[in-house]
A and B are shown apart, each in its own frame.
Chain A
Amino acid sequence: MGPRPGRRPGHTRQDRSSLVGHNRVVPYLLSGPSILMVTALLLFPVVYAVWGSLFDAEFIGGSPEFVGLGQYIELFQDPSFLWSAGRTLIFVTGVLIIGIPLGLVFAFALSRATGKLRFLRGITIVPYLISGIATAVIFRLILNRDFGEVNRVLGLFGIEELAWFSDPTLAMLASMLAQVWSDLPLVILLILGGLMTLDRDLLDAADVDGATGWKRAWRISIPLIMPQLALATILLSYQALTSLGVILALTGGGPVDATRTLPIALYEAAFIDLETNKALAIVVVILLFNALLTLVYWGISRRYELEAA
């Protein structure tokens, strides 16, 4: 006999346990298809990737042989892989340096936007609805050397015709900006959510004590929304770490490999050089970084009980 957690005593025509409690078949029938699908299409490919990364083919199209960790050893001695790893680190760091302060400022402003200005909250999410490729196209246009709006504005300050896509540093910056634009809605809404839970009375008390503006934000609000800020940081790192479309369509990894991050290296190994096993090893490396971020993310949200909904 399973436990009988029915809260209501009395007779029912049907077995009460069909609503709550143990049931032998029904829950499996209901959840089975989803569990099966997730197992077959999310978990199995990962297992496949790990397994496949242990093999290597002599030449393209050759039959792969078991090489153990050979693929990884080769990878970490490969200058072009290490270069991509370095570029990824720069890219992710840059996205965070631009994205977090910007998200923080916008979220603070939005939290004070009342009345008619509330419509701005609705608009905030728009970039999130737009695909990475379309985002890249938009940034190719506004960062265009000749007619791009950004250069026209910079021109007013005497900065002439920046070549965003042929200068390595600027191309990296352009990729970061496009990535931040695309993901900032998540950051803003996450931080805004934190700000909205702050205790009004506490802030008013701080007001009375004379702590206004920046001081209040630094000393009181920001420490209180640290959990959300930490989650936003990790979320943004995730998105940047696994960003392929934005960079591929914006710079294609160039110029001279300046924006050749790990996802681009993965794309090239898999679909240009057709080195599948090497690509799978890169996949596993990216998944490991990702798992690390997930652990931290999970830890933070558990610790502060931030499971939303």
Chain B
Amino acid sequence: MSITAPSAVAPERRPAGPRAAKISRWLRRIAIWVPLLGLAIWTIYPLLMTLSISFKTKADVSADPGLIPSDPTLDGYRSVLERQGFQDAFVNSMVVGLGTALLTVVLAVPAAYAFARFRFRGRHLLLLFTLLPRLIPGLGLMVPMYRIAVVLGAIDLLLTLIVAFTATVLPLAVWLFVGFFQQVPRELEEAANVDGSSLYARIRYIVLPLAFPAIITVGVLAFREAWNEFNLVLALTSSPGSRTLPYELFLMTQTTGFQDNPGQAAFAIMTIIPFIFVYLRLEKYVVSGLTSGALK
């Protein structure tokens, strides 16, 4: 028996000569291992290269193209941190990200509860909610929102970004919560209803604690939208102090061109890092939420 390698293959069912069976088992293993290796390289290698470049000196980027920098330096990170605007953008991204996550949850939970538990005239809007994010991409919103924000004098306000991002994530968030609330057993609430607790108390003490995983999921989803959004930031901000990270990174690529490669790499890495942490801690919520949401 040669079961040394971890068996990634379904057990062999077909009776065949021992040698033929062995060969076909190996072929199958290769047919799985090669694509898996390809997937790992495709996904991770670009990130590793970027990480590597971020620790190189400008000269070493071409002089020393290996994956492990021979003379690691933090110059790239220093050049980003010293960039006027990076710190502002970082703080803005945090504020806008957390603000969007909070506002989204606060608005979506009651709405989803209404859609999940009540029959009322607005209920058919739920269907519209599921289609809207597909029908109206951020790209379609940037010019009209820009014009509207100009008229309202709302350009350059972080609040504008929070409100705009919340609107774009809200349909998805409501939809996710509705699915979740429909799984919360009605009996639990009806029992509380018998005990005379109010609607508020039922939501606060029964539904919300049960919905905790969904809240984390939606929160991360909203944070990701806000953290990564570029189009609307481009449209709704004009002064240096009000931008978020993706736009600031875009400006860096425009101004430094191909001259400060370690700096651009370091900047990209720094926009990714917070997310990797969130992701590692909350993987199961993030994966289920992002996929169910995005694949809807």
Contact = CB atoms under 8 A, between A and B. Distances in A.
A binds B: yes
Chief secondary structure at chain B's binding surface: helix
Identify which of B45, B141, B179, B261 gathers the most chain A CB atoms within 10 Å of its CB.
Answer: B141
B111 A33 contact: yes
Interface string A119-160: 011111111111111101111111010110100100000000
Q: How large is the interface on A (under 10, 10 to 19, 20 to 34, 35 or more residues)?
A: 35 or more
B272 A141 contact: no
Interface stretch (A75-83, A168-176, A284-292): A284-292
B89 to A, nearest CB: 12
A199 interface: no
Chief secondary structure at chain A's binding surface: helix
Given A125-B291, A139-B46, A112 B196 contact: no
B202 to A, nearest CB: 8
B170 interface: yes
Contacts of A29: 110
A19 B267 CA distance: 51
Contact of A123 (B44, B167, B227): B44
Given A123-B44, A133-B249, A245-B246, A105 B27 contact: no
B159 interface: no
Interface string A202-244: 0010011010110000000000000000010001001000101
A27 B68 CA distance: 59
Nearest to B6: A115
A295 B247 CA distance: 32
A76 B105 CA distance: 43
B74 to A, nearest CB: 18
B250 A245 contact: yes
A16 B62 CA distance: 73
A13 interface: yes
Contacts of A249: 249-250, 253
Given A27-B114, A242-B137, A283-B140, A136 B228 contact: no
B174 A189 contact: no
Interface string A258-293: 000001001100110000100110010011001101
A5 B245 CA distance: 51
Interface string A171-208: 00000000001001010111001000000000010011
B142 A270 contact: yes
Contacts of B113: 30
A132 B246 contact: yes
Interface in B189-244: 189-190, 193-194, 196, 199, 202, 224, 227-231, 234-235
B31 interface: yes
B171 A112 contact: no
Nearest to B65: A147
A267 B231 CA distance: 9
Interface in B109-142: 110-111, 113-115, 117-120, 122-123, 125, 129-132, 134-142
B295 A308 contact: yes
B164 to A, nearest CB: 6
B144 A280 contact: yes
A276 B179 contact: no
Contacts of A266: 139, 143
B193 A14 contact: yes
Given A31-B114, A283-B144, A106 B39 contact: yes
A309 interface: yes
Given A109-B32, A137-B50, A294 B118 contact: no
Given A28-B120, A42-B167, A141 B50 contact: yes
A140 B230 contact: no
B4 interface: no
Contacts of B134: 238, 290, 293-294, 297-298
B196 A35 contact: no
A307 B8 contact: no
B36 A110 contact: yes
Nearest to A19: B193
Interface in B139-166: 139-148, 163-164, 166
B167 A41 contact: yes
Interface in B84-117: 107-108, 110-111, 113-115, 117
Identify which of A27, A31, A126, A140 gathers the most chain B CB atoms within 10 Å of its CB.
Answer: A31
A87 interface: no
State the 10 A-B residue pairs at the shortest beta-carbon distance, nearest first. A41-B167, A45-B144, A109-B35, A131-B228, A34-B111, A30-B114, A27-B118, A30-B110, A245-B230, A27-B114
5 contacts: A125-B286, A137-B267, A204-B10, A212-B28, A242-B137
Given A20-B186, A106-B38, A129-B275, 14 more contacts: A13-B196, A14-B193, A29-B110, A42-B141, A42-B167, A45-B148, A105-B38, A109-B36, A112-B10, A115-B7, A123-B44, A144-B258, A245-B231, A280-B144
